[in-house]
Amino acid sequence: MSKEVVVITGAGSGLGASLARRYAEMGSHVCLLGRTKEKLEQAANTLTGNDYSVYPIDVSSKIEVTETFHKIKQDVGAVDVLINNAGLGAFDLAENITEESVHSMIDINLKGTIFCTQEVLPTMKDSNSGIIANIVSTAGLEGKVTESVYCASKFGVRGFTESLLAELKDSKIHVFGAYMGGMKTEFWDGIFEENEMEGLMDPEDITDIIVNNVKPRKNLNVDQVVIKNH
């Protein structure tokens, strides 16, 4: 029997790298996707075994996404689990957020999630199986000071996730949204002081919750989990 193929975007650090380690421990073939090949390879070096593959990609590019997922299918087979984790944030008062930052957040956080999902849906529909997990953040549930555009992008991901749930409700494809608060990762480097980082959540704890809630269970479906800081 072939191994489960798990694709994780933003896998070079933080939660993405933690999820990659967990799925590797579980015996899956893990595809690590992200912008920086060096970071992906560093993350890959922490995995159990060597059943993984690395794909540098800009998820905001439809062409790159299409080419990469075609290569994944050729290299290791159809995707069983897609975790849309890639994301970035630029935080300031609404009027101060630069045009470049606006484009980056909408392109990577929202369009990247849409593009990657579009690539796996046809095959998942053909087999009537698969998991799509979108890492959204609590910024997709409520507006926050200095996070207006980040929230806008994440509200978009929430809308996309809820629409997928509606479209796929009669199928066996599992769609899941994770809405969590701040984690202790390099995402916050240069934004939070060291003492502020102390109150953030451990990515390993978030990984536990995500993995336990996306796995198929009989007569049960968890479509979203909200995880907040104390």
**Residue 82 β-bridge partners:** 7, 132
Spatial distance between the Cα atoms of 161 and 80, rounded to a whole number of angstroms: 18
CA distance 109 to 86: 7
CB distance 225 to 140 below 8 Å: no
CB proximity list for 121: less than 8 A, separation 6 or greater: 132
The catalytic site residues sit at: 150
Q: Which residues contact 41 (CB under 8 A, 6 or more apart)?
A: 54
Q: Token pair for residue 211?
A: 């993995």
Q: Tell me how far CA of residue 61 lies from CA of 34, 71, 98, 112, 138, in angstroms.
A: 12, 15, 21, 8, 26
Number of residues that make up the chain:
230
